[in-house]
Amino acid sequence: MGAPVTGELQVTYGREVDGQAASHEYVTKHRYDFTLWPKITPEAWTGARNEGSSSDPLTHLKNINFGFRAIAHHRGGTTR
């Protein structure tokens, strides 16, 4: 909160050996851009809607397919 929309993070670190300060420090920099955040955020999805007749034999298979697609879509969102 309160961070600029774009910027750079810098971390400086080293390692102690036997209680002695590090002889060499390392610096890692990482640029960030929160304007990209909406592009990678999962969107809410209610699932596919079946548009078919219950008398059509393929409607049942379409419903199964829509169900699997919805599960895969929601499962994929939990791995982010």
Number of helices and strands in the chain (H, E): 2, 2
**Per the domain annotation, does 26 fall within a domain?**
yes
**Per the domain annotation, does 22 fall within a domain?**
yes
HSE, side-chain direction, 13 A CA sphere, residue 49: 2
**Per the domain annotation, does 35 fall within a domain?**
yes
28-48 exposure pattern, b = at least 16 Cβ within 10 A, e = fewer: eeeeeeeeeeeeeeeeeeeee
Chain segment 25-76, per-residue pLDDT in tens: 899 999 988 887 666 665 555 556 666 777 777 877 777 777 777 777 777 6
**Per the domain annotation, does 64 fall within a domain?**
no
The structure's pTM equals 0.37
**Per the domain annotation, does 75 fall within a domain?**
no
**Per the domain annotation, does 70 fall within a domain?**
no
Q: Which two tokens stand for residue 61?
A: 């298979």
Domain count, the chain: 1
> 16: domain range?
6-40
